[in-house]
Amino acid sequence: MRRESVTLVIAGALLTLSMDAAAQIRGARPPASSSSDLAAGKKIFDSQCAWCHGNDGDGGTGPNLHGRLRHATDLRSIVDIIINGIPGTDMPSFRSPLTERHARQAATYVQSLSRATPRPVPGSAQRGAELYQSTGCGSCHVIDGRGGIVGPELTGIAARRGPAYLRESIVKPAAAHPTGYLVVRAVPKSGPEVRGIRVNEDVFWIHIRDAGGTVHTLEKADLTRVDRETDASLMPSYESRLSGPQLDDVVAYLSTLRGAR
């Protein structure tokens, strides 16, 4: 009888420990998102993220966060990106300034942006597509494998940039200077100077793609100087070439280019 009593006591103790362990595991899981997480996440976003992604998350130098996210599918993957960054991109790790709780709150706000109904962009995308072709934009930019290679590819530009950034890049191209498109001017000891986009450079050589798309391979020993025009762009301003409604149309068209679904 005593043996059975001892057995029951031990079994009860084990059950209690098991229930305690289960409760601890449940407590270790991330809490469900709440309205307070959303409000806190917006404050974190405004202070840490809006510099690149825009005040409303509609894109700047960083991607537009409205609609489908390119690198994340759920809250956990957004948290991982905030904590670890995205290698090979301009997205840094925020592991140091943010705790995991803060990262989750920021991710909750980002997820709400991606689920929100995008605000309509003024203008006609159809007329914008026609203007894109008639003004020669396709001679420098690629969309879906067609076009020139002097300027950045625009196939998925709307997933990376918002309407405000796109508008500025059309009227003030040098202000919206894209990474990897540094304008350089090389002056040879003899012959004409070469101005264009730096393709590659090392100690001895520099490769420059001019506005016509030709790549020039120049030995630095044969040059008198190489100027790096950090505030310049090969793209001309269209501020005086397009009316206000026409500019709206082109931005509306570019805002439809989100890449492969």
Enumerate residues 6+ apart whose C-beta is below 8 A from 205.
217, 218, 219, 220
pLDDT for res 220: 98
Question: Is 217 within a domain?
Answer: yes
Q: Which residues pair with 206 in a beta bridge?
A: 201, 218
Question: Is 42 within a domain?
Answer: yes
- 171-180: average pLDDT: 86
Tokens of 1: 């009888």
Q: Quick one: pLDDT band at residue 261, thresholds 50, 70, 90?
A: low
Tokens of 159: 């997933």
- 210-232: average pLDDT: 96
Residue 81 shares a structural domain with residue 199: no
Question: Is 20 within a domain?
Answer: no
CATH of the domain at 199: 2.30.30
Note whether 161 and 59 are within 8 A (CB). yes
Residue 138 shares a structural domain with residue 225: no
Angle between helices 100-115 and 75-84 (to 10 degrees): 130
Residue 84 shares a structural domain with residue 149: no
Residue 217 shares a structural domain with residue 99: no
d(CA 179, CA 114): 25
Residue 39 shares a structural domain with residue 71: yes
pLDDT digits (tens, 9 = 90+) for 151-172: 999 999 988 888 888 999 999 9
Question: Is 15 within a domain?
Answer: no
Residue 51 shares a structural domain with residue 140: no
Residue 53 shares a structural domain with residue 101: yes
pLDDT digits (tens, 9 = 90+) for 90-133: 899 999 899 999 999 999 999 999 888 777 899 999 999 999 99
Final residue in a domain of this structure, among 82, 97, 115? 115
Question: Is 16 within a domain?
Answer: no
Residue 67 shares a structural domain with residue 103: yes
Residue 231 burial (CB count, 10 A): 8
Q: Quick one: pLDDT band at residue 248, thresholds 50, 70, 90?
A: very high
Question: Is 24 within a domain?
Answer: no
pLDDT for res 25: 37
**Domain, as residue range, for 158:** 125-177+236-254
Q: Which residues pair with 219 in a beta bridge?
A: 205
- For residue 156, the one-letter residue type is G
CATH of the domain at 157: 1.10.760.10
Question: Is 30 within a domain?
Answer: no
pLDDT digits (tens, 9 = 90+) for 43-79: 999 999 999 998 889 888 788 898 888 889 899 999 9
Place of tokens 């059309």: 170
Strand ranges for the chain from DSSP E: 142-143, 146-147, 183-188, 194-201, 205-210, 215-219, 223-229
Check: pTM over 0.85? Answer yes or no.
no
Residue 146 shares a structural domain with residue 216: no
Residue 80 shares a structural domain with residue 194: no
Question: Is 7 within a domain?
Answer: no
Angle between helices 100-115 and 35-48 (to 10 degrees): 100
Domain count, the chain: 3
C-alpha dist (Å) from residue 153 to 137, 143, 197, 238: 11, 6, 14, 18
Residue 140 shares a structural domain with residue 198: no
Which range, of 25-29, 78-82, 155-159, 227-231, averages the lowest pLDDT? Answer: 25-29
Residue 130 shares a structural domain with residue 208: no
